[in-house]
Structure 1
Amino acid sequence: MSADTERVVVVTGGGSGIGAAIARRFAVEGATVVVVGRTREKLDRTAAGAPVGAKVLARTADLTVPDQVDTLFASIKAELGRLDVLVNNAGAPAFGAVDAVTPDAWRAAMALNLDAVFHASRAALGPLRAARGSIVNVGSTGGLGGDYGMAAYNAAKGAVVNLTRAMALDHAPQVRVNAVHPGFTLGTGITAGLAAETPVVKAFAERIPLGRVAFPEEIASVVAFLAGPQARYVTGAQLPVDGGLSAASGQPRIVP
């Protein structure tokens, strides 16, 4: 581990997949990491899987409930004395075209994928200003373009794109705010349990210029970069981590 023993990092949705990988990455760098989610069992697994000597703390909260979020960040500040990085990773896919999504399902998708980003950022900004820290929002390539049958998810993640830009403007120079947008990533959400040779994984890989899908650790490394000192002049950025998929126009190859 590095000598980065002062930084305190909060990772929402830290119980599995990309969130757990992000927590491990910061723990390896020597930071104190607080993983947040609704399921204590998952969070405890992340904490137990941390490197020897690392400090990973599990805290439960429903990030869609403002009072719980405020209480969470007040307790982190009281216990650890500071906050340097907030990674807004909590989220989940939501399926259905507009005429197939119920109002309750629409609201649930917005609450977890968008409102949670707002609530956590709002609660964290005070200590982040004091530390001249940063926020990294984990969006999705689904926020940079549309997908079939994912209207609510696309809308929520698209809103995270512009929320990131607005916060970057409003809170500079004290707090940097950036976003990473993962493409198809194994071991997270609807891809949990899928293997590289699964037909749907192969279908995605065939469309990705780098020829394969991503692993959670590859998303985590980009998050760590944006949160760290090497990115100290970067704010408001929207960084796809998708193997080059979003570089394409969508048209088929017409030359050899």
Structure 2
Amino acid sequence: MTYHILTYSGDYDRRVPPFIEGGLTLSPVKNISEIDHQAHRKFFNDDERKAVFPEPLWFISKSKSINLDYYPFNPGFLASERFVNLLQSYVPDNLRVQSITMLSNKGQSNTTHQMFFCQIINSVTVCDLTKMDIDGAYHPELDSPNRVEYQDGQPRLICALRLVLKPSLAPISLAHDIPLWANVLIVSQEVRDRMSAEDIMGARFVSTDDVMVVDFIPNGPGSFSILGPSWRERADLDRWKNHGYWPVDRKTMFDPKRAPVHPLIAEMLKKSQSS
């Protein structure tokens, strides 16, 4: 069965903003600078390994208008009523839904939708590690083998050229073992098709066949930052490698002093030194 990572379409769909500057609050503050972005620490739930907020909740942002159905917001996501109805038809017992009031930082309503803050309650290991040759297969492309680390006794991928998922997952799963700064939601082909048919605004789907997990983040031609591990689209990494001259030596990759010089710049330096 085909599965997909549910991600945000902000860079691909002009109907939704690329980014929403704001956050959840327990009271209707008038300036986003008053938002306590560390509140998740106060409400951290040890059993679920994430924050569980009390009600009522507000989402305050700089946006004058927010009309979408899905927006990832760690440790969960914002969802419209129609998207909530779709989710509840698949995972009714593994979904937390909390009503939120959406306001601009001027105290005005900025959406025509009834919105909710949602969380998939229980995370699961979605990868079949027995078929991924952990610590075995070496990838010259990543200069690394498939690797995992363990958090709370559960595996978490650090490097993987390809993902192999378990054959039977729930229609919607919160992946414990595929890393990213936010929640990684895995949806089945059926869920993807239904969300596409219902035009769930803000949703974008990336096939798990088209991603890899790396422990560095490309952020421009020939440059990178060590913010991983994280899943990345293989096509994006290929473009970065082809145009940014991917370092093949991990020592070079992780040592800025040894970072490779772009060939055009190297040629200019050579000419300047010989003149």
> Is the shorter-chain TM-score for this pair beyond 0.5, marking a shared fold?
no
Structure with bigger gyration radius:
2
Q: What is the TM-score of this pair, normalised by structure 1?
A: 0.28
Q: Going by fraction, where is strand more abundant, 1 or 2? A: 2
Q: Going by fraction, where is helix more abundant, 1 or 2? A: 1
